[in-house]
Chains A and B, each alone.
Chain A
Amino acid sequence: MTATDLFIALPIILLAVGALVTLLVGAITRTTNIGIVIALAATLGAAFWLMQSPPTLPAPTLGLSAGGLSRLFGVFFCLLAAGVLCLSVAYNRERGISGEEYPSVLLFTTFGMLALASATNLLTLFLGLEAMSFGFYILVAIDLQRGVSGETGLKYLLPGALSTAFLAFGIALLYTVSGTLSLHELMQFTLTSGTPDPIALAGWGCLLAGLAFKLSLAPAHLWTPDVYQGAPAPVVAFLSGGSKAATILFLLLLLPQAVDVSALRIPLCALSLFSMMIGNCAALRQNHVRRLMAYSSIAQMGYVVLALLSGKSGGYQAAAFYAIAYGTISLAAFGAITVIERNGGGETLDDYRGVGSRQPFAAGVLALSLFALAGIPPTAGFTGKFLIFSAAIRSGEITLAVTGILLTAVSVYYYLRVVVALYFNHADNTEDTQPRSIPTAPEYAVLIAAATTILILGLWPGKLIELLSRA
Chain B
Amino acid sequence: MNTSLLLTSLVFLPLAGGFLLLFMGGRAQTAKITALAIALLEAALACSTWFCQGAIPSAGAPAGFFLYEDFPWIEQLGIRYILGMDGISLLLVILATVVTVIAMLVSWRSITEKITLHYLLLLAMESGIIGVFLSLDLFLFYLFWELMLIPMFFLIGIWGHGRNIYSAVKFFLYTLVGSLLMLLAIIALYLIHGAQSGMYSFSLAALLGTHFSPATGLWLYAAFLLAFAVKFPIVPLHTWLPDAHTDAPTAGSVILAGLLLKTGAYGLIRFGYPLFPEAARTLTPLLIGLAVTGIIYASWIAFAQKDMKRLVAYSSVGHMGFVALGIAVWTPVALSGALLQMLNHGLTTTALFALVGMLDERAHTRQIEDYGGLWGKIPLFSVFFVLFAMASAGLPGLNNFVGEFLVLTGSFKAAHLATILAFIGVILPLVYTVRLIQELIFQKERRTLPLSDLTLREMSVLAFLALCDIYIGMHPAPLLDILKQPVALLTGGVP
Stretch at the interface among A24-32, A335-343, A459-467: A459-467
Asked if residues B181 and A405 are in contact (CB atoms below 8 Å), the reply is yes
Which of B75, B154, B173, B176 is A423 in contact with, Cβ under 8 Å?
B154
Asked if residues B176 and A412 are in contact (CB atoms below 8 Å), the reply is yes
Known contacts: A409-B176, A423-B157. The answer to whether A466 contacts B76 by CB under 8 A is yes
Q: What class of interface size applies to chain B in its complex with A?
A: 20 to 34
Which A residues are in CB contact (< 8 Å) with B165?
A: 420, 424-425
| A401 to B187 CA separation, bound complex (whole angstroms) | 11
| A67 to B160 CA separation, bound complex (whole angstroms) | 54
Asked if residues B74 and A390 are in contact (CB atoms below 8 Å), the reply is no
Q: Which of B441-458 contact A (CB under 8 A)?
A: none
A108 within 8 A of B: no
Asked if residues B77 and A424 are in contact (CB atoms below 8 Å), the reply is no
A49 within 8 A of B: no
Which of A371, A401, A469 is B184 in contact with, Cβ under 8 Å?
A401
| A425 to B165 CA separation, bound complex (whole angstroms) | 9
Q: What class of interface size applies to chain A in its complex with B?
A: 20 to 34
Which B residues are in CB contact (< 8 Å) with A55?
A: none
A205 to chain B, nearest CB (A): 31
| A389 to B157 CA separation, bound complex (whole angstroms) | 31
Which B residues are in CB contact (< 8 Å) with A461?
A: 74, 76
B490 within 8 A of A: no
Asked if residues B74 and A462 are in contact (CB atoms below 8 Å), the reply is yes
A386 within 8 A of B: yes
Asked if residues A390 and B190 are in contact (CB atoms below 8 Å), the reply is yes
A202 within 8 A of B: no
| A399 to B75 CA separation, bound complex (whole angstroms) | 29
| A296 to B143 CA separation, bound complex (whole angstroms) | 23
Contact with A along B78-112 (1 / 0, CB 8 A): 00000000000000000000000000000000000
Which of B114, B169, B183 is A416 in contact with, Cβ under 8 Å?
B169
Which B residues are in CB contact (< 8 Å) with A179?
A: none
Which B residues are in CB contact (< 8 Å) with A445?
A: none
| A406 to B169 CA separation, bound complex (whole angstroms) | 16
Which of A382, A406, A424 is B168 in contact with, Cβ under 8 Å?
A424
Closest to B174 in A: A409
B191 within 8 A of A: yes
Closest to B169 in A: A416
Closest to A383 in B: B74
Closest to A458 in B: B143
A378 within 8 A of B: yes
Which B residues are in CB contact (< 8 Å) with A389?
A: 183-184, 187
A442 to chain B, nearest CB (A): 23
| A408 to B75 CA separation, bound complex (whole angstroms) | 27
| A377 to B149 CA separation, bound complex (whole angstroms) | 10
A349 within 8 A of B: no
Q: Which of B141-167 contact A (CB under 8 A)?
A: 142-143, 146-147, 149-150, 153-154, 157-158, 164-165
Which B residues are in CB contact (< 8 Å) with A412?
A: 172-173, 176
Q: Which of A373-404 contact B (CB under 8 A)?
A: 375-378, 382, 386, 389-390, 393-394, 401-402
Contact with A along B345-387 (1 / 0, CB 8 A): 0000000000000000000000000000000000000000000
A134 within 8 A of B: no
Contact with A along B288-330 (1 / 0, CB 8 A): 0000000000000000000000000000000000000000000
Asked if residues B180 and A376 are in contact (CB atoms below 8 Å), the reply is no
| A401 to B223 CA separation, bound complex (whole angstroms) | 13
A372 to chain B, nearest CB (A): 12
Which B residues are in CB contact (< 8 Å) with A175?
A: none
Asked if residues B169 and A413 are in contact (CB atoms below 8 Å), the reply is yes
B188 within 8 A of A: yes
Which A residues are in CB contact (< 8 Å) with B146?
A: 376-377, 382
Which of A357, A393, A424 is B164 in contact with, Cβ under 8 Å?
A424
| A53 to B154 CA separation, bound complex (whole angstroms) | 46
| A408 to B176 CA separation, bound complex (whole angstroms) | 9
Which of A376, A393, A423 is B187 in contact with, Cβ under 8 Å?
A393
Asked if residues A465 and B157 are in contact (CB atoms below 8 Å), the reply is no
Which of B143, B149, B158 is A424 in contact with, Cβ under 8 Å?
B158
| A465 to B76 CA separation, bound complex (whole angstroms) | 7
Asked if residues B143 and A405 are in contact (CB atoms below 8 Å), the reply is no
Q: Which of B225-280 contact A (CB under 8 A)?
A: none
Which B residues are in CB contact (< 8 Å) with A469?
A: 76
A430 to chain B, nearest CB (A): 16
| A402 to B188 CA separation, bound complex (whole angstroms) | 12
| A465 to B200 CA separation, bound complex (whole angstroms) | 15
| A461 to B165 CA separation, bound complex (whole angstroms) | 34
Contact with A along B57-83 (1 / 0, CB 8 A): 000000000000000011111000000
Asked if residues A460 and B74 are in contact (CB atoms below 8 Å), the reply is yes
B48 to chain A, nearest CB (A): 28
Which A residues are in CB contact (< 8 Å) with B154?
A: 423
Asked if residues B76 and A409 are in contact (CB atoms below 8 Å), the reply is no
| A245 to B454 CA separation, bound complex (whole angstroms) | 60
Which A residues are in CB contact (< 8 Å) with B149?
A: 376
Asked if residues A378 and B180 are in contact (CB atoms below 8 Å), the reply is no
The 6 closest A-B CB pairs, nearest first, are A424-B157, A377-B143, A409-B177, A462-B74, A465-B76, A405-B180
Q: A376-B149, A378-B143, A393-B184 are in contact. List 5 more A-B contacts (CB 8 A).
A: A378-B147, A409-B173, A412-B172, A416-B172, A462-B76
9 contacts between A and B (CB under 8 A): A376-B147, A376-B149, A377-B142, A389-B183, A412-B172, A420-B165, A423-B158, A425-B165, A462-B76
Residues of B within 8 A of A (CB): 73-77, 114, 142-143, 146-147, 149-150, 153-154, 157-158, 164-165, 168-169, 172-173, 176-177, 180-181, 183-184, 187-188, 190-191
Residues of A within 8 A of B (CB): 357, 371, 375-378, 382, 386, 389-390, 393-394, 401-402, 405-406, 408-409, 412-413, 416-417, 419-420, 423-425, 460-462, 465-466, 469
